[in-house]
């Protein structure tokens, strides 16, 4: 009965918008570089809409993800990652020392079997890592600790909303939503030894990590707040 919010501004309070660090929106083709990109063409850069210019650049050698604008999801385009495609941003100096985070990712894995783990997002130090195991277990990692769902929570070729919330002292909270709110799987892990603070020159990876981990599938949106949203 309540209209769905049409923007981040309508979804969260103004105090949270101050802590909005990243917003990659595949539905907004103007954020995809090169401009006027054709369907299935390589993506050189995915521009950030947070206002902080944390633009995402390809980081996979000659491998680049591609933009899908014909086989859309609810009319929205998205970025397609093949095995070995990778994008990153460095440095995230505004995240230096941050110990609380909220990360949202809208994604569809198209191949859970090729690699041991599919990695949606990560940093080189392991904070903010959202992963999918071959058996469909979703894994939300902050430092050395993680929260995991049951096997088969994630199915190949299905869009999901992944959420990682960590407030710096208590549990990691992970959510997998099949897009039909409020249906979701929620998991919580024990307190993180730390807190797991961000370094001053932290890389943030989308579509894999710096150890060779990759993601095979489609990513429609990535949002990162420097605070734990309720």
Return averaged pLDDT per consecutive 10 residues of the chain, 230 residues in all.
Answer: 73 80 95 94 95 88 89 94 90 77 95 89 83 94 86 94 87 84 80 64 86 92 92
Sign of the dihedral defined by the CA atoms of residues 145, 150, 155, 159, in that order: negative
CA distance 85 to 61: 8
The predicted model scores a pTM of 0.91
Identify the pLDDT of residue 124: 78
Identify the pLDDT of residue 4: 72
Identify the pLDDT of residue 34: 95
- CA torsion, points 197, 45, 78, 119, in degrees to nearest 10? -40
Identify the pLDDT of residue 13: 76
* Element holding 58 (H helix, E strand): strand 56-58
Identify the pLDDT of residue 79: 97
Of the candidates 86, 89, 88, which has an alpha carbon nearest to the alpha carbon of residue 63? Answer: 86
């Amino acid at each position: 009965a309540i209209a769905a919010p049409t923007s981040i501004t309508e979804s969260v309070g103004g105090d949270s918008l101050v802590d909005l660090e990243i917003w990659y929106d595949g539905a907004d083709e103007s954020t995809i570089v090169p401009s006027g990109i054709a369907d299935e063409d390589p993506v050189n850069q995915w521009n950030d809409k947070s206002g902080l210019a944390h633009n995402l650049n390809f980081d996979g050698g000659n491998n680049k993800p591609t933009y899908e604008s014909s086989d859309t999801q609810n009319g929205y385009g998205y970025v397609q990652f093949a095995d070995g495609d990778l994008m990153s941003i460095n440095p995230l100096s505004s995240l230096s020392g941050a110990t609380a985070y909220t990360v949202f990712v809208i994604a569809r894995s198209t191949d859970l079997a090729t690699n041991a783990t599919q990695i949606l997002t990560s940093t080189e130090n392991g904070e903010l890592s959202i992963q999918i195991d071959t058996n469909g277990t979703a894994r939300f990692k902050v430092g050395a600790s993680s929260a995991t769902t049951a096997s088969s929570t994630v199915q190949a070729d299905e869009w999901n909303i992944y959420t990682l919330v960590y407030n710096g002292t208590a549990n990691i909270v992970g959510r997998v939503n099949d897009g039909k709110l409020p249906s979701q799987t929620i998991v919580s892990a024990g307190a993180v030894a730390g807190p797991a603070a961000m370094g001053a020159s932290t890389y943030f990876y989308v579509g894999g990590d710096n150890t060779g981990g990759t993601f095979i599938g489609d990513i429609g949106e990535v949002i990162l707040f420097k605070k734990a949203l309720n």
